[in-house]
């Protein structure tokens, strides 16, 4: 899927966040002013906030940096570049994860990274939708083929979480923590989420699609639908996170690709100590939901298999391999 070439050119002109008249846009694109109005009318459907002021023209509510393969490649490390068999950027897509799962089944591809400007059906955990306004955030999926069984790559999401924190730290974004099993937090607010989907034979080999959604800028209207504490890079580094977007995309790949490629050999044990350093749940009271059941207790970290350890009010220690965890208000 793709947006029209003219609309993309218009967005590049508007990306600086300044006012541009209809006449200026029309002349730059070689179309009529009425055609420009028609093109820009559909931007709200993509989650793009556009202002139109008489006598001034059109203006994006927030500056935008569209993804550029050339700029991303400029920041790629030699190691990541060697591990990657392709980097794709899609303007519009249903889901980067779904796209790569299908690609794996059809072609046996490996080492593919897929970015999107907009997802119409972005995936969160447990069937939730991941909000994906156009040109605002990082929507990334990586496809990797493992010779081992799906059971042998359990804990991969924890290792990828470590890679994401490393990438953010490299860019000077500190106070980042990890919330079991697959969320990246900044000062107790969710900044990013990881979703890994695995397909293949129970005895191996298997394909893993590692999905990452990271908030660079969430438009206020879109953010109203989020039911948990959240944060975006715009709030952390100031109103210029768009300038980081292509470099961030590359730095994430620089850290994620080696972790994904080496996980078969290194396993979770290689990343446990670092994950525990970043643990933002240690000692906190939480509720953990397993289906309709809710367990309450205090977090005592993760064990060597990556299971969450919860001690209840009777001092009983229980380990959880999965579950929906929220910080307790009690």
Question: What residues form the annotated binding site for biotin?
Answer: 95-97, 119, 190
The separation between CA 113 and the C-alpha centre of its own chain, rounded to angstroms, equals 12
Alpha-carbon distance of 317 to 134, in angstroms, equals: 44
Beta strands in the chain (DSSP E): 50-53, 57-60, 86-93, 112-119, 138-146, 176-179, 183-186, 189-200, 206-214, 285-290, 293-302, 308-311, 317-320, 324-327
Q: Residue holding tokens 């034979």?
A: 201
Neighbours of 197 (CB within 10 A): 16
Asked whether 275 and 100 are in contact (CB, 8 A), the reply is no
Please, where are the H alpha helices in 85-232? 96-107, 156-170, 220-223
Alpha-carbon distance of 21 to 57, in angstroms, equals: 4
Three-state DSSP class for residue 86: strand
Provide the b/e sequence for 74-105 (b: ≥16 CB within 10 Å): eebeeebeebbeebbbbbebebbbbbbbebbe
Neighbours of 26 (CB within 10 A): 17
Binding residues: 95-97, 119, 190
Alpha-carbon distance of 30 to 35, in angstroms, equals: 10
Alpha-carbon distance of 56 to 34, in angstroms, equals: 16
């Amino acid at each position: 899927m793709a947006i029209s070439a003219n609309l993309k050119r218009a967005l590049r002109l508007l990306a600086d966040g300044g006012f541009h008249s209809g006449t200026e846009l029309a002349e730059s694109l070689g179309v009529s002013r009425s055609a420009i109005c028609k093109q820009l009318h559909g931007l709200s459907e993509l989650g793009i906030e556009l202002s139109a002021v008489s006598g001034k023209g059109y203006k994006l509510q927030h500056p935008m940096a569209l993804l550029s393969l050339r700029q991303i490649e400029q920041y790629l490390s030699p190691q990541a570049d060697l591990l990657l068999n392709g980097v794709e950027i899609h303007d519009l897509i249903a889901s980067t994860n779904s796209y790569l799962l299908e690609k794996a089944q059809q072609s046996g591809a490996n080492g593919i990274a897929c970015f999107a400007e907009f997802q119409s059906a972005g995936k969160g955990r447990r069937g939730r939708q991941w909000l994906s306004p156009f040109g605002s955030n990082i929507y990334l999926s990586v496809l990797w083929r493992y010779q081992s069984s799906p059971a042998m790559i359990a804990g991969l999401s924890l290792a990828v979480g470590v890679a994401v924190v490393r990438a953010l730290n490299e860019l000077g974004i500190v106070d980042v923590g990890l919330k079991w099993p697959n969320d990246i937090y900044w000062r107790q607010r969710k900044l990013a989420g990881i979703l890994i989907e695995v397909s293949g034979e129970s005895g191996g080999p298997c394909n893993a699609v590692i999905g990452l959604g990271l908030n660079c800028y969430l438009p206020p209207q879109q953010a109203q639908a989020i039911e948990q504490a959240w944060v975006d890079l715009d709030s952390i580094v100031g109103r210029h996170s768009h300038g980081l977007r292509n470099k961030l995309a590359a730095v994430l790949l620089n850290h994620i690709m080696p972790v994904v490629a080496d996980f078969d050999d290194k396993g979770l044990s290689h990343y446990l100590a670092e994950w525990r350093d970043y643990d933002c749940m240690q000692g906190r009271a939480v509720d953990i939901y397993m289906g309709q059941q809710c367990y309450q207790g205090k977090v005592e970290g993760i064990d060597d298999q990556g299971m969450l350890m919860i001690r209840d009010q009777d001092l009983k220690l229980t380990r959880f391999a999965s579950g929906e965890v929220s910080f307790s208000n009690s």
